[in-house]
Amino acid sequence: MDSVLRLVNPQRETDLRWVHTALAKLAQEAARSADTHLLKLNFPGFHGIDFYFKDEAAHPSGSLKHRLARSLFLYVLCNGWLRGGQTVVDASSGSTAIAEAWFARLLGLPFIAVMPACTAPGKIRDVQALGGECDLVDDPAQVHARAAKHAAQGACHLDQFGLAERATDWRGNNNIAESIIGQLVLEAEPEPAWIVCGAGTGG
């Protein structure tokens, strides 16, 4: 009876310890990363209009998708979909893959970026420099299906196109909307009339 009561799944304990360590590393990284600057610029000929530029390239990964990548990793960890040593995969045209490769390296995980073959060579090199592998697909419409194929073989699919709205929230979790709203609070016009951004592929 005593031996039955003391039955433990050592693999589960190992997995839970790894998840707790991974979450701690992500929290440490977020605490170390100061917010990016919101720069106020004045342009002649636009009297009475305040222009602000958000410099997301200042993130440690150099990618404007740094916040999203962190949120995606947190999401899959908290849902029990990612374990130590598991390969991580996502479909990306570049910027998200660079940030995801950076976080995968932080957590000691293999990373595969499924990218259109026409992706800018510089972005491919950036992913590879961070230790990621690039799986280049001739038909850009097939990148998501290729990422899903990697997932079917055991990789954890971060799925920026399917999970971004669940993984991040404008009210918290250090996303760009929360940051901009917070940084504008003491300005003469704290609510922006327009926000202009490059949407990329929409992730």
Average pLDDT score over residue span 80-86: 95
Domain ranges of the chain: 14-183
Is pLDDT of 139 > 80? yes
3-state secondary structure labels for all residues of the chain: CHHHHCCCCHHHHHHHHHHHHHHHHHHHHHHHCCCCCEEEECCCCCCCCCEEEECHHHCCCCCCCHHHHHHHHHHHHHCCCCCCCCCEEEECCCHHHHHHHHHHHHHCCCEEEEEECCCCHHHHHHHHHCCCEEEEECCHHHHHHHHHHHHHCCCEECCHHHHHHHHCECCECCCHHHHHHHHCCCCCCCCCCCCCCCCCCCC
Q: What's the pLDDT at 1? A: 47
Lowest mean pLDDT among 126-130, 174-178, 181-185: 174-178
pTM value is: 0.86
- The third-level CATH classification (topology) of the domain covering 14-183 is Rossmann fold (3.40.50)
